[in-house]
Amino acid sequence: MVSMDLKKGASATGNDSHEVTEGKMFTHSDGDIAAAYADRLEGENAYTRKEEKRLRWKLDMRLVPILWLNITFSAMDKVTTSTAALYGMRTDTNLTGDRYSWVGSAFYFGYLLWCFPSGTILQKLPVAKTMASVQMVWGIVLIGTGFARNFETLIALRVLLGILEAPIVPGNFLVVGMWYSRREAPIRTGLMYTGLSVLFTGPIGYAIGYIPGGEQWRYFFWITGAITCAWAIVVGLLLPDNPVKAKFITERQKAISIDRVRADQTGIENKTFKKDQMIETFLDPKTWLMFFFHIWISIPNGGLTNFAPLIINGLGYSAQRSTLLTMPTGIMQTVSSYMCNGGVFFRLAALYMSYFYLGGYIVGLGMATANTAIVRIYRNLEHSNGSAPGDRVEIQQFGA
């Protein structure tokens, strides 16, 4: 049992003022860390809607930018090889045949390997500090990738990078669940989950093209790795592990934050593993629907993120221009994210967005007449990217 005196806190806004009574914060093997705050606010009108809105805005200003950059920098770092490939990485590290494809896949092998262990680590250790630590290490790994000389080294570093990134997304969702209600969470998820990593990779990739001499691709890893290390320090200093430990809000605001999500009955942070909850999760059909949904979505995502710059380069653009021309892909992803999240709240908008199905249908119908031109483009790409097996499969499909 750990106890700590809590100070009295009160709002400075007249009628909004309701004291938070003194008490002891406690944690034990079966208790939620915020349990002591659950009944601090007395009565149904313990705080006003205006006060809640001010607090929510304060939370958004602190948490959403940090969570957004967590996702953005991880997305930037995992596809660094696609930009590096434009500047000679494949030649310098002897990525012949389908080796480049394996380098791209190695990241996801590490990620898949460490998904469940990372969840356990996040449950046992402070969430924010854990994320800051792994970000610092993966920044160092990324810098080390800039010194790689062969295929084997790249594979090992990419697997390690995947392992280190595995806690970031679930860690972000844990933070969102601590601070926001179920109704508030989707829009915050949409704000943090964007494709705007290209706003970093594009300009950086373009700039390294002006570095004299060869092996500019190494500078790309060194720069992005250094950015990640610097960001890890920011996360460690500014992102709280939970509402109880947050220093940027008052004791009263902590109590309000906890009360706001109490109706969801999800708790704030509990370090106890509960086997019955795990079994319930695995037996829930929604778990498997979401699992397979993510699998099917990730198939095109992995291919496009690793090969988009090479596809653009294969269309005849220079390495520098190819990095800039990848930027609209991230903007489209972000627009899609914002539109879909808007659809959660505006059902009419959701109906309109469902008609996006027509685009893919029309493209499918047009493949018969476009077959010759498509095959010509992909043959050019095949010679430029080491004949990756995924591209060969697509060429065969178009030629069928």
User: Is 291 inside a domain boundary?
Assistant: no
Top pLDDT among 344 and 134 is at 134
Residue 326 and residue 367 in one domain: no
CA distance 76 to 69: 10
CB 28 within 8 A of CB 1: yes
pLDDT at 213 over 60: yes
pLDDT at 184: 85
Q: Phi first, then psi: give them for residue 5, nearest 5 degrees.
A: -65, 140
pLDDT tens for residues 6-38? Answer: 333 333 333 444 444 433 443 444 455 666 666
pLDDT confidence of residue 33: 62
What is the percent of the chain where pLDDT is above 70? 71
pLDDT in the model for residue 301? 76
Per the prediction, the chain carries an average pLDDT of 78
In a domain, 15, yes or no: no
Total domains in the fold of the chain? 2
Indicate whether 342 pLDDT > 70.
Answer: no
Give the Cα-Cα-Cα angle 137, 143, 148 (nearest 5 degrees): 120
Pick 57 or 12 by higher pLDDT.
57
Domain identity same for 341 and 368: no
pLDDT at 41 over 70: no
Per-residue pLDDT, averaged over 306-311, amounts to 88
Q: How many CA atoms lie within 13 A of 168 on its CB side?
A: 31
The band of 363, judged by pLDDT with boundaries at 50, 70 and 90, is: low
Q: What is the pLDDT of residue 271?
A: 61
Q: Choose the weakest-confidence range: 75-79, 351-355, 384-388.
A: 384-388
Distance (Å, whole) CA 67 – CA 175: 9
Does 213 fall in a domain?
yes
Question: Is residue 154 domain-shared with residue 205, that is, in the same domain?
Answer: yes
Does 232 share its domain with 328? yes
Dihedral of alpha carbons 135, 141, 144, 150, sign: negative
Instruction: Map tokens 């706003």 to a residue.
Output: 199
- Give domain status of residue 69, yes or no: yes
More confident residue, 285 or 142: 142
pLDDT at 177 over 90: no
Mark whether 334 and 398 lie in a shared domain. no
Residue 353, pLDDT > 70, answer: no
Residue 334: both structure tokens together = 């972000």
169 domain-assigned: yes
**Residue 221 and residue 75 in one domain:** yes
Are residues 276 and 217 part of one domain?
yes
Helix residue spans in 79-167 (DSSP H): 80-84, 89-92, 99-124, 127-145, 151-165
Residues 253 and 211 grouped into a single domain: yes
Tokens describing residue 293: 């949904």
Name the phi and psi angles at 35, rounded to 5: -60, -35
Distance separating alpha carbons of residues 66 and 72, to the nearest angstrom: 10
User: Which of 11-15, 206-210, 356-360 reaches the highest mean pLDDT?
Assistant: 206-210
What's the mean pLDDT in 129-138? 95
Indicate whether 295 belongs to any domain.
Answer: no
Q: Do residue 162 and residue 201 come from a single domain?
A: yes
272 and 367 fall within a common domain: no
Question: What whole-number percentage of the chain has pLDDT above 90?
Answer: 37
pLDDT at 92 over 50: yes
Contacts of 340 (CB under 8 A, 6+ apart): 190, 350, 353
pLDDT tens figures, 251-273: 888 888 888 887 666 655 556 66
Range name among 5-14, 269-278, 356-365, 377-386 with the lowest pLDDT average: 5-14
Same domain for 137 and 171? yes
CATH number at residue 80: 1.20.1250.20
Task: Report the 3 state secondary structure along 173-238.
Answer: HHHHHHHCCCCCHHHHHHHHCCCCCHHHHHHHHHHHCCCCCCCHHHHHHHHHHHHHHHHHHHHHHH
Q: For residues 89 and 92, give the distance between their C-alpha atoms in angstroms, rounded to a whole number.
A: 5
Is 61's pLDDT higher than 50? yes
**367 pLDDT exceeds 80?**
no
Residue 259's pLDDT is 82
pLDDT digits (tens, 9 = 90+) for 146-159: 999 999 999 999 99
Q: How far is CA 307 from the centre of its chain?
A: 20
Domain range holding 369? 358-400
Indicate if 324 and 400 belong to the same structural domain. Answer: no
Backbone angles phi, psi at 146, to 5 degrees: -65, -15
238 found inside a domain = yes
- CA distances (Å), 27 to each of 2, 129, 150, in order? 6, 19, 50
Give every CB contact of residue 48 below 8 A, 6+ residues apart in sequence. Answer: 15, 16
Which one has a higher pLDDT value, 260 or 386?
260
When comparing pLDDT for 27 and 370, which is higher? 370
Number of H helices, E strands in the chain: 18, 0
In eight-state DSSP terms, residue 98 is T
Which one, of 9, 342, 25, 18, lies nearest residue 187 by Cα? 342
For residues 386 and 200, the model is more confident at 200
- Per-residue confidence (pLDDT) for residue 1, from 0 to 100: 32
Tell which residue, 68, 37, 45, 168, has the closest CA to residue 114: 168
Backbone phi, psi, residue 24, to 5° = -115, 135
pLDDT average, residue stretch 295-307? 79
Residue 299 lies in a domain: no
> Do 379 and 391 form a contact (C-beta atoms < 8 A)?
no
pLDDT at position 397 is: 37
* pLDDT (mean) for 269-297: 80
